[in-house]
Structure 1
Amino acid sequence: MSRRGQSGHHRPIDVVYLWVDGADPRWQAKRRRAFEAWRIKHPAELAAYGNVAGRFRDNGELRFNLRALEHFFPDHGHVYVVTDAQVPDWLDTMPGITVVDHRDLIPRASLPVFDSGHIESYVHHIPGLAERYFYLNDDIFFGASVDPEQWFGEQLTVAMETSPIAQSADLHPTGAALVNASILSARWLASVCPGYVHEWRLFSHSPRAFLRSAMYELERQASELFRDLRSTRFRSWRVPPIVSDLAMRWMVQTGAARSITLDPLYISTGDDAAEVQFSELRSRFGALPFFCINDTCDDASGSDHRLLRAASVLEDLLPRPSRFERRSAHASSQSAAWCGALAT
């Protein structure tokens, strides 16, 4: 399959998303059965917010994410959408995009899996994936023109938060997944890198630049950590994710990447400040390196006005369909956004 041209010696930069439709009745039944069995064997292991509806809810982010991708990074490479036997009903599975089923990526004995940390640990195994790729959650959007050399120059670029976190030697049952991931990284890197000094800041919820070969090498060196993570079905506080912290710290430590701080925008849909944050998004759109619309409405219904507001704003900012959308799906997207605007 041909690939679109890129700057940087015309090497492609592919893009990978995870996606789930949490409203699918068959998927919901599978999740309920799996959780009942899992919690009996793993009492008190569920990570904070590890099984709330908001973790699996589809608010239409992927559709708008692809619109932002086409708008701000038109020279992107192949797009891969990793799903659990699901395909978005609006998606035109045309050349340039591939839906990768969990069954084609993860060993059958490990399925079903509802821990994104487990799932993303297999991303670099996607057949045909380019050496250089972006990995994004579907709620993280490019918000300005993408310069490939900024992310994939002589070193990769990884974005960190500005504020430090509390130092700790132990994982915490109620700790945020990324905080526990940082603690795990500190332990492992100190054990394999003499003189390692841990940076007690978290990595941003951002587009993440990776080299496929580097991920295979990390998997080889940290095989025990990958094995433990791939034993989970739901997110466990005892087994935090690897890709969202250790992978990037290891690349920085080995010189493959550099860490920087940027000025993105984070919106939490369940926060009182969300309306102000959406106003800021409108004013800064086109000048943001990236932005994140985090669904923090947890177990709210899909018709909650806070979620409808997010869809309406995205439709206003990104009205042009990507080439990956079916024409009929675009009409229904507009109708849903108008209904959302009327409901707010």
Structure 2
Amino acid sequence: MPHDSPIDIVYLWVDGNDSNWRAKRQAALQQLPSDSSAAMARYSNVEGRFRDNHELRYSLRALEKFFPDHGHVYIVTDAQAPDWLRPSDRLTLVDHRDLMPEASLPTFDSGHIESWIHHIPGLSERYFYFNDDVFFGAPVQLDDWFHPDGFHVTWSDDPMVTDEAMRMDATSLENACRLSIQWLTEKARSGTPALREQDPLYQSTFRTFAHSPRPMLKSILLELEETAPELFAAVRSTVFRSWDKPTIVSDFVLRWALAHGVASIRPYRHRYVSTGEGDQQAQLQALVAEFGSLEFFCINDTTDDAHTNDPRLQNVLSVLQSILPTPSGFENASSPVQTLSSAPLASSAFQAHSTPADAQHPPNASGLQQRA
């Protein structure tokens, strides 16, 4: 496909406040075998994983602001639709039932869902995959994300994964790193001499990938579905995220692409915000100060104990409104965002400003570990 073809956008989205969806989730929990809780990954069923705090709305605003030439937008969801969404010939809601076989449903594991998105009918060869808590933060230069042979990826700022064995108490991203390297190493050891020579490469990359926009090639996903069917089958067997069946699209695909010259490592100016941390306001202030020069940012909802009007959620919403105030073409004008005027960060003194693109700051100074 020509490299000047439009680049589509795929989001996963869920509204964890929806009563019908919550009933479906509760029924799925009750139907699990009694010993299944031991297989569930850390944070696999916490409220922050499913809560909607208008992140998708603001991610679409950032998309329109910083990448107006994007292709079609697909939002993959489970019989839901944002109440603010305006019909558009540039956007399609993709229901789980239209994307995945009945045997896969229901599922509440994003790793399971994302393993199917390359089968969206009409999806472009080159596309970006987003979770709804990821945002572009500066004008998109496609050469920064794609290259003639494939795409760029970036490591997270998390500590190195220190051992090879998958662990029940590890994050999904850590176990995904371990699983990918185990598979690739075994393939190298049992393969051709050329593959065996790559074995040290696999052994030297015990790091997780950043929670970022994911540039992808549909053809690579289709190839890997045939190359590693057991990995796809495993993650597609989950109802809730499982520690021993972690995501493969957000690690294995990227690691395989690195080993085969399809992907290359590139550092990005970015900011990771963990909303449940005690220094949340400082993190958000840093985001505001850097907005406009960050190639991407992530606002990870880790406020698992939060109620609807929790000030921490309102802080996030107020900051997003301050840096991305202009509604996108995908929004109904009659559905304004509701924020609490009492939110500490909503004051006029805390407004966004752009930092020059050549500002000197580290790619990410948060020092926080991703839990996505």
TM-score for the superposition, normalised by structure 1: 0.93
The question of whether the paired residues in 2 share the 8 Å contact of 1:17 and 1:82 is answered with yes
Q: Secondary structure at the match of 2:41?
A: coil
**Aligned counterparts of 2:32 and 2:267: Cα–Cα separation in 1:** 38
Q: Deviations over 1:46-96 (max 9, x none)?
A: 100100111000000000000000001111110000000000000012100
Alignment of 1:1-344 (within 5 A): 9-40=3-34, 42-154=36-148, 155-162=150-157, 164-193=159-188, 194=196, 195-196=198-199, 197-198=201-202, 199-329=205-335, 332-333=336-337, 336-339=338-341, 341=343
The question of whether the paired residues in 1 share the 8 Å contact of 2:314 and 2:340 is answered with no
Q: Secondary structure at the match of 2:334?
A: helix
CA RMSD between the two structures = 1.5
**Aligned counterparts of 1:139 and 1:91: Cα–Cα separation in 2:** 17
Deviation at 1:302, TM superposition (A): 2.0
The one-letter code of the counterpart of 1:13 is: I
Moved more, 167-176 or 230-239: 167-176
The question of whether the paired residues in 2 share the 8 Å contact of 1:312 and 1:340 is answered with no
Counterpart in 1 of 2:367? none
Q: Secondary structure at the match of 1:184?
A: helix
Change in Cα spacing, 1:223 to 1:277, as seen in structure 2 (3 Å) is same
Q: Deviations over 1:1-59 (max 9, x none)?
A: xxxxxxx7421111100000000011101101101212525241110010011100000
| Percent identity (aligned) | 50
Counterpart in 2 of 1:4? none
Deviation at 1:327, TM superposition (A): 1.3
Q: Deviations over 1:270-311 (max 9, x none)?
A: 101110111111111000011111101013212111001100
Q: Secondary structure at the match of 1:258?
A: strand
Deviation at 1:167, TM superposition (A): 2.8
**Aligned counterparts of 1:213 and 1:67: Cα–Cα separation in 2:** 29
The question of whether the paired residues in 2 share the 8 Å contact of 1:164 and 1:200 is answered with no
Change in Cα spacing, 1:178 to 1:343, as seen in structure 2 (3 Å) is closer
- Flag structure 1 segments of 5+ consecutive residues without an equivalent: 1-7
- Flag structure 2 segments of 5+ consecutive residues without an equivalent: 189-195, 347-372
Deviation at 1:200, TM superposition (A): 1.3
The one-letter code of the counterpart of 2:42 is: A
The number of aligned residues is: 333
The one-letter code of the counterpart of 1:60 is: H
Q: Secondary structure at the match of 1:157?
A: strand
The question of whether the paired residues in 2 share the 8 Å contact of 1:311 and 1:340 is answered with no
TM-score for the superposition, normalised by structure 2: 0.87
Deviation at 1:338, TM superposition (A): 4.7
